[in-house]
Structure 1
Amino acid sequence: MELHLALDPVSDLTAQIVHQIRDAIQAGRLEAGSRMPPTRLLGTQLGVARKTVTTAYERLVAEGWLHARVGDGTYVAEGLARKPVRIAAAPVLPPAVQRWMAVETPFLGPAGGARYAFQPGQADTARFPHEAWSRCVRAALAAERQRPAGAADPAGEMVLRQAIARHIAFTRGLQSAPTDILVTGGAQQGIDLVARLVLGPGAVVAMEDPGYPMARALFQGMGARVVPVPVDGEGLVVDALPNDATLVYVTPSHQSPLGVPMTLARRQALLDWAARRHAVILEDDYDSEFRYGGQALDALQTLDQHGRVVYLGTFSKTLVANLRGGYVVVPPWLMPAARKVKHLMDWYTPTLLQQALARFLAEGHLLRHIRRSHARHAQRRARLLARLHGDLSPWLEPLPALAGFHLAARLRVPVATDTLVSMARLSGLELATLDPFYAQRPATCAGLLLGFGAIDLLDIDPALDRLAMVLSALAPLPPRAA
């Protein structure tokens, strides 16, 4: 690697090398203890005599900037003071930059580090089938060696799109052709892609309130006007949708975060509304693989007769979030433009991951992992509900939910959630609240979002004991009558 120095041939070359190396050290571009290039090599790179570089090094050693080690080379000295960084006057930010700066980045869950944590949206990484995944990655690496040179399909590897089509037909009843599927780097990129695809400057997006804050922040950052739409016991209130909405973002199978499923009548009303208004519905089906009872409702996409629904799926909830695997099922009329958007965003999703994931699905590893995870989630959910309906019931009311791996619980008593979170952290418990999900936060809807995907069954009771202790300190129960 070359050391970047720019020399003026008409000036003192040795002095220039000394000054530029000294400046690089003071600015931090050359770190303490880093090895300097050999004098012969640096002289060749700069087009000067080796003696010129040697003399410059000797001066810097004498001044204490460099340290020569006999037989080992020359190094940047330790413990040197750095120049304070000069902060230029802030420029006038373009309107788009100002808009992004004003967007609040949501914080959805515990930061980690506590002994106990109810982390929403987190899968149990300890139970991930690492051996099976490693075999699939090795097979994908072998296949990559045979891949011809050139760019891949922006929509994704056909072998993975076929595997996804089979998977969602089996698990969700979606009859989609592989050519309708576009592979993304996680669900968030799928939301980003659809937003770029259908939203123009000043476009209106309708969202559930409460709703997924990462999607809301993204739409706002793109300059869209996000209109919050209330959610009741049947899901999104269709009658409250703004007439000028271009995009409706919904989580109908397991409303995020409250958990209520959208009823069949409400689903049909939403589809009819979108057809009349020529709007696009983005259906985020983020964790519906995990159901614990009740009749499974069809996805909006299976009911759609007008081609208005884009179905968004992810593997982050069933596998691990760090794999960043997701997909969208796009109506045929939208696919040519969607492919172009994906191509311009990042060309294509890494093919190695796609090949490994395709094999993982085809060999049945994902379905086996889901079945094993479902059994563990059901146990954790049952224990959590038993406590919420038991000794924690004076403070918390669990909201009905039959899918996913989190439960929302409203506070029955007036407790400041920030105080609750702070006190719980002091006792070794990290909590997430419903607050970030509300665009318009009503004081009566304060509550907790209790994720049970990543907490061990044996840790649930000790964690809830701490929660009960904190709640009893903030809102003591009245003494029982004798």
Structure 2
Amino acid sequence: MPVSEGMIAGLIDLNRADDEGLAAQLTGQLRSLIASGRLGKGHALPSSRRLAGDLGVSRNTVTYAFEQLAAEGYLEASHGRRPVVTIDGGERIEGVRTVASSPRSVRPRLSPWASKLKQTDWPMSYLAPLRPLRPGHGDAREFPKEIWGRCLRRSAVGAARRELGPVNRPRLREALAHYLATSRGVRATADQILILPSAQAALTLIAAAVITPGDEVWVEDPGYPGAAAAFRASGARVTGIKLDEQGMQRIADLATPTLIFMTPSHQHPTGRLMSLARRTEFLRASRPGKTWIVEDDYDGEFHYDSRPVPALQGLDAHGRVLYVGTFSKAMISDIRLGYLVVPPALVSTLEIAQRHIGLIAASHIQEALAEFIADGHFLAHLRRMRRLYHARRDHLVEGLERHLGEVLTVEVPSGGIQLVARLKRGRADQAAVKRLMEAGVVTRAISSLALGKPRDHGLLLGFAAWRESEISAAVRTMASCF
């Protein structure tokens, strides 16, 4: 008997208390319905809006499931049309026979590490489409692609003459050591710098090397969910530390934690700047060799209203700080390069761990970036982007205050690529994010970044990736939603 559009939701059984996220549950259950023949070839599924409403989930959850099944060959999905099933149950997909299984099929046995990762999955807003005003991105359209392309071509030609060398290319390490010393006050020799596929890879490497199951780790709350996920997966007991106007509060007794994770130059997500006095307090209270501080300087290149406060790492005289950075904000996210500045006592251990885990960045990308920096292109690009992003920040602030001043209180950051707007009159931020998403504006709820019960509410809005005309249009759309 054919399954009608209205019946499909009745075949789906989502469990919000399950360790497996809603998007993964929905994807798996739709896959099983197709593989078993319940949804046959040519069957049109409900629209993402209709199915989300029937199931009581966000439209983003349904969109993720549809896109994943389309990538696997189960569905044909195109913009503006309902997804259509493309196979019959039991057909072969890329030479592999599909296996029909019920939504209640036996789950695979997972390691504690994988199980903890599933429990600490990131908010769905991190999977949202790249539309105004999604936070966390620079403008790839402004990147000097022709210059970068020449660097890549020369690196590729040189690869034929290069023997297999060190995983951390010396030219890039030297270039980074000089850049970080002059721009961020980082004190390190070239051999203290590890080149990695991303900043998240750096957190994974740190967790694997210094955390023993049961260790206490402190993170900012609200804060970056990727950090909590990496540390929890390694068995740490992760505690969220409240924020004040200077970011992470210093707790009087620092005898407990093995590791403290912070974003002192531009707290994620609030944008607050930790004062020099607060930074010094953390360093004085930490225990050399026993309490590590991880400083994530994720968008430290962008400061607009004053000179940047030097990195915490540059103040550390006893080798307690591991400094994490990325090129995805300053250049383009597809470059997939991050770096980790390691205290001398950990260099050998982390280099071995890096090779063992396989967190190795492509050597030709490393060589191309070394040339891009050495020839002055990186600093020239940064100077231009600082001016551009500064103007875009001011344009967004002006638009929000003009059109949404009765609804939002805007917190203007001194740097970075995103800002926080607080909702007035006790409005719920996650409901607002859902409403804006349906209207085509992508934001992130501050409460979704809380480690436990949310204390902070507001909208995280990106400005760097969007032209002023795009920002204006998004603000007008926002105004129509409140």
- Same fold per superposition (TM over 0.5): yes
Cα separation, partners in 2 of 1:229 and 1:145, compared to 1, 3 Å: same
Alignment of 1:22-421 (within 5 A): 82=91, 85-87=99-101, 89-109=106-126, 111-112=128-129, 117-148=132-163, 150=164, 152-154=165-167, 156-239=168-251, 243-275=255-287, 278-346=290-358, 348-421=360-433
Give the aligned CA root-mean-square deviation in angstroms: 2.4
CA distance in 2, matches of 1:360, 1:229: 39
Q: CA deviation at 1:388?
A: 3.2
For the Cα contact (< 8 Å) 1:119–1:453, is it kept in 2?
Answer: no
For the Cα contact (< 8 Å) 2:187–2:313, is it kept in 1?
Answer: no
Question: What residue is the counterpart of 2:478 in the other structure?
Answer: 467
Give aligned pairs, total. 391
Higher-Rg structure is 1
Q: CA deviation at 1:95?
A: 3.7
Q: Which amino acid aligns with 2:124?
A: F
Gaps in structure 1 of 5+ consecutive residues: 1-25, 28-77, 472-482
Q: CA deviation at 1:313?
A: 1.1
CA distance in 2, matches of 1:122, 1:470: 24
For the Cα contact (< 8 Å) 2:397–2:412, is it kept in 1?
Answer: no
> Deviation per CA, 1:191-243, whole angstroms, max 9, x where unpaired?
11111111011111110111101111121122111110111112211126653
Cα separation, partners in 2 of 1:108 and 1:178, compared to 1, 3 Å: farther
3-state DSSP of counterpart to 2:242: strand
3-state DSSP of counterpart to 2:153: helix
Q: Does 1:427 align with 2:451?
A: no
297-306 or 89-98, larger mean C-alpha shift? 89-98
Q: CA deviation at 1:91?
A: 4.8
CA distance in 1, matches of 2:288, 2:375: 43
Gaps in structure 2 of 5+ consecutive residues: 1-34, 37-86, 92-96
Cα separation, partners in 2 of 1:419 and 1:157, compared to 1, 3 Å: same
Q: CA deviation at 1:389?
A: 3.3
Q: CA deviation at 1:346?
A: 0.8
CA distance in 2, matches of 1:189, 1:276: 24
Q: Which amino acid aligns with 2:294?
A: L
For the Cα contact (< 8 Å) 2:117–2:229, is it kept in 1?
Answer: no
For the Cα contact (< 8 Å) 2:220–2:242, is it kept in 1?
Answer: yes
CA distance in 2, matches of 1:432, 1:328: 27
Q: Which amino acid aligns with 2:390?
A: A
Q: CA deviation at 1:108?
A: 4.2
3-state DSSP of counterpart to 2:444: coil
Q: TM-score w.r.t. structure 2 length?
A: 0.76
Q: Which amino acid aligns with 1:129?
A: P
3-state DSSP of counterpart to 1:174: coil
Cα separation, partners in 2 of 1:92 and 1:319, compared to 1, 3 Å: closer
3-state DSSP of counterpart to 2:239: strand
Higher RCO (CA < 8 A, seq sep 6+): 1
